[in-house]
Amino acid sequence: MAHAPAPLNKYVIHPVQAAAAFTVYMFFRMLPLDWASGLGGALARTIGPRLRLSDRARRNLRAVFPDKPDAEVERIVRGMWDNLGRLAAEFPHLQEIDVYADGGRVEVEGGEYVDQLRDDNEAGIFYSAHIGNWEILALGATQRGLPLDRVYREANNRLVEWLYRHGRAAVEGALIPKGPQGVRQLLNAFRSGSHLAMLVDQKMNDGIAVPFFGRPAMTAPALAELALRHDCPVVAARVTRLKGARFKMTALPPVRFKKTGDHKADVLAAMTRINNQVEQWVRDTPEQWLWLHNRWPSEDG
């Protein structure tokens, strides 16, 4: 499909997109957090399953869980959209969430492992997946005194990108865009002792094939490469949705990947361990994972 000419993008399409995004952002920002979350979930679970994009989620689910009846597949698809709509509506309220408030919105398990990486005087890596409200993870680290540099996909629309960054202003640490320039920034940050956060469940066409739900999935090896080369601790963490705009943040004990002298095999073993952890998370709460990803190479786009 032909792309719009650059001037049309810059002066017409991008401003219209930005205006729409800003309007939606401010609308949900003006609502109380629980109302925003509820409305966002209701809209998404009503509209989302009807979109053609949801067919990919259904294909993924049937491939991963061939024994699940159609009604259960549809329940998971609706739950996925509900979670996604809630996350989008909660995003303008991110700065309001006090992760460690007594009796607050977030239950925390494993906070001591965040402290351990904060205080060990070496670089480290946190990884997670597109589960629950993943935006709260870096916020939780910030509020525990540990800034996280995050690798993310930069928006093509610079006005929308500004809005994303504004919404994440309460989170400390650099936003590192994917791509060659981002790789250099990431390496420099890591060598200076920074802590990185990565979402590891997206397809990377030029990655390596790693088992995921029993099928090879093209996976970015950067996390294992860094952890092995620098012998640094790695922490798996996730935020699951309990009910409405209430969550549980869980961090697991730090691990260090083993070196056998065969670097390629070590990278594959480390990424297999990581994919196994993500798979377990998805099995725990399948309705909270983003099944819309084109995760396996055998799929159509």
CB 176 within 8 A of CB 149: yes
Contacting residues for 55 by C-beta, under 8 A, at least 6 apart: none
- Give the position of tokens 């995760």: 295
CB 101 within 8 A of CB 37: no
Tell me how far apart the alpha carbons of residues 72 and 91 are, in angstroms, rounded to a whole number. Answer: 28
Residue 3 is predicted with a pLDDT of 54
CB 57 within 8 A of CB 80: yes
Residue 237 is predicted with a pLDDT of 97
Residue 299 is predicted with a pLDDT of 47
> H-helix or E-strand containing 248?
strand 246-251
Contacting residues for 269 by C-beta, under 8 A, at least 6 apart: 257, 258
Residue 11 is predicted with a pLDDT of 55
Task: Spell out the domain ranges in the chain.
Answer: 6-288
Nearest-Å Rg of the Cα atoms of the chain is 19
Whole-model pTM: value is: 0.90
Structure tokens at 43: 């809209």
Tell me how far apart the alpha carbons of residues 148 and 139 are, in angstroms, rounded to a whole number. Answer: 9
> Would you give per-residue pLDDT tens digits along the chain (301 residues)?
445 556 666 656 767 877 888 889 899 999 999 999 999 999 999 999 999 999 999 999 999 999 999 999 999 999 999 999 999 999 999 999 999 998 899 999 999 999 999 999 999 999 999 999 999 999 999 999 999 988 777 777 777 777 777 778 888 888 887 766 777 887 888 888 889 999 999 888 888 999 999 999 999 998 999 999 999 999 999 999 999 999 999 999 999 999 999 999 999 999 999 999 999 999 999 999 999 988 886 544 4
Q: What is the DSSP letter of 221?
A: -
Residue 126 is predicted with a pLDDT of 95
The length of the chain is 301
